[in-house]
Amino acid sequence: MNNYITVILMIILSLQSCNNDSYDKIDAKAMVVSAHPLASDVGIAVLKKGGNAADATIAVQFALAVVYPSAGNIGGGGFFVYRSNKGNYSTLDYREKAPLIAYRDMYLDSNNKVIKNSSLYSHKAVGVPGTVDGMVEIHQKYGNLKWEELVQPSIDLAENGFVVTSRESKKLNRFNANHNVSDFYNPYYKDQFKEGDTIKLPDLAQTLKFIRDYKREGFYSGKVAENLITEMKNNEGFITENDLKSYKSIWREPIIGNYKNYKLISMGPPSSGGVLLMQMLKMAEQFPLKKYKFHSKESIHIMTEIERRSFADRAKHFGDPDFYDVPISELLDSSYLQTRANNIDLNIATPSDNIYAGSWNASESDETTHFSIVDQYGNASSVTTTLNGSFGSGIVVKNSGFLLNNEMDDFSIKPGHPNMYGLIGGEANSIIPEKRMLSSMTPTILEKNGQLFMIVGTPGGSTIISAVFQVILNVIEYGMSIEESVNASRFHHQWYPDEIKLEKVISKDSSLIRELQSLNHRLNFVNSMNRVDAILIENHQLFGGADNRGDDHISFF
């Protein structure tokens, strides 16, 4: 009898949680798709208890900080895009900001040269973290369940331990081999991780308990803040008590636009993602992409040229809107975008040297992680969060057990000097105390005929925007299921370097490669690009797309 019950239970469990290659079409009421099975399960458990998408967002964010340390975080930041079941939208910016004593040339030596790795792997690379404040803000505005119930699952994971997957074990081994962290406290150190090993993180569990019990104050003041400030003082870092006290996440105006009969809600500056995505889709609208078919010479060429033009605009016109007047309406002006698309030559690539940021008369890891949630009430959230590089700065706050970001590298540390994603920038994105560094994160929600249609986003630095652009077109223009769409191979162009980055799988079609080269495109093959996690809603059914490039996972009920 006992065996019989066990088998039934196993069948029920297997129906409620599935990995990225077994899910097709299940009549679910609620769904969470994230980079880690344990985080997706935490989110769905919160929804089952009567929580909403905002509650699940908070629980998943904290769970990822434990089980997915390369990008999940409490020492970083992110962006939250929310659509209520009544069709109201809001977007929260919990991006890191520059410390009060940061200054424009802080990464340059006396000869005006960039000090190697200083914006990436030093205590000066760390921006003031925004995640905890962001989660508290989301809870105050939308939370349904008690705060403690949302933090407790991550405490349990950190305290009781969690089992590493094969991919995660490799990532942790790379982290331990690549980062010179021997001088620093490193709770992730082990000679060699292998699949099935258990990691316990008692210091992180204690930090999460402070956050559970004291919310914002549990992180930005008290013991955790003291440990963070000591870490900074002992290592020439810039973050002070005042920085922690004054950090505030900000509700921003969403970027709202249309592609054909679809409405998009996405993140505005200090992310460039929403505006660039809208630019790309508006330019794409002017070409018969469906007729050209998926990954034809014509469609890759046109989309590449579109991406090239938008990234040229990004380099010049984007920064923190509290410090720089980002010309959003000019960048999204339909006649501007039409002119920009009109000069795409269908027969030849335009060299990036011949493309400049647009101008107007009057004014002017690859590591991050994304999760998508739809609750049983019809609310949706689309959240992208990051430490910037894989494991951020690699610095773990001693006695508090959490990794710190290296988001300062997303500033333009010197005009024309590329950041870790090869992106260049200018004055708009220069370092100023308390300014937010420019991002490419693109958490996005789509509506079709006024109804919730898609929740989508991805990690991947600069490639985020192109990936979201392509996944949306895969569904709308090429008729793919959401699962096919996120798993389809991708390409990316970002103005400079003047090359198309293609996933190697595309190179198998050598005739296509020759055709692209005949259009003067320079090609750079890479193993694998972003991990997109998305949900599609059609006829009131939820369909999950968890990228098979990673351990990404769909949980539902």
Q: Which residues bind ligand GLY (CB under 6 A)?
A: 368, 386, 388, 407, 410, 439-441, 461
Contact 488, 475 (CB under 8 A): no
CB of 127 or CB of 378, closer to ligand GLY: 127
What DSSP assignment string belongs to 447-479?
EETTEEEEEE----TTHHHHHHHHHHHHHHTT-
- Min dist CB 432 to ligand GLY, Å, is 18
CB of 178 to ligand GLY, least distance (A): 18
Q: Please say which residue, 410 or 533, places its beta carbon nearer to ligand GLY.
A: 410
Axis-axis angle for helices 131-142, 147-160 (nearest 10): 140
Between the CA of residue 254 and those of 88, 240, 500, what are the distances in Å? 11, 31, 30
**439/487 with CB nearer ligand GLY:** 439
User: How near is the Cβ of 319 to ligand GLY at its closest, in Å?
Assistant: 13
| Min dist. Cβ of residue 465 to ligand GLY (A) | 9
Nearest-5° angle of CA 303, CA 309, CA 311? 100
CA distance 169 to 40: 19
Q: Which phi and psi (to 5°) does residue 404 adopt?
A: -100, 145
Secondary structure (H, E, C), 81-110: EEECCCCCEEEEEECCECCCCCCCCCCECC
CA 557 to chain centre: 25
**Catalytically annotated residues:** 368
Q: In what order do the strands lie in the sheet with 500-503?
A: 491-492, 500-503, 523-526
Cβ nearer to ligand GLY, comparing 80 with 556:
80
Bridge partners for 79 per DSSP:
93, 384
Helix (H, G, I), strand (E, B) or coil at 492: strand
Per DSSP, 113 falls in state P
Shortest distance in whole angstroms from residue 456 CB to ligand GLY: 16
Three-state SS at 114: strand
Considering the complex, what minimum distance in angstroms separates the CB of residue 403 from ligand GLY?
14
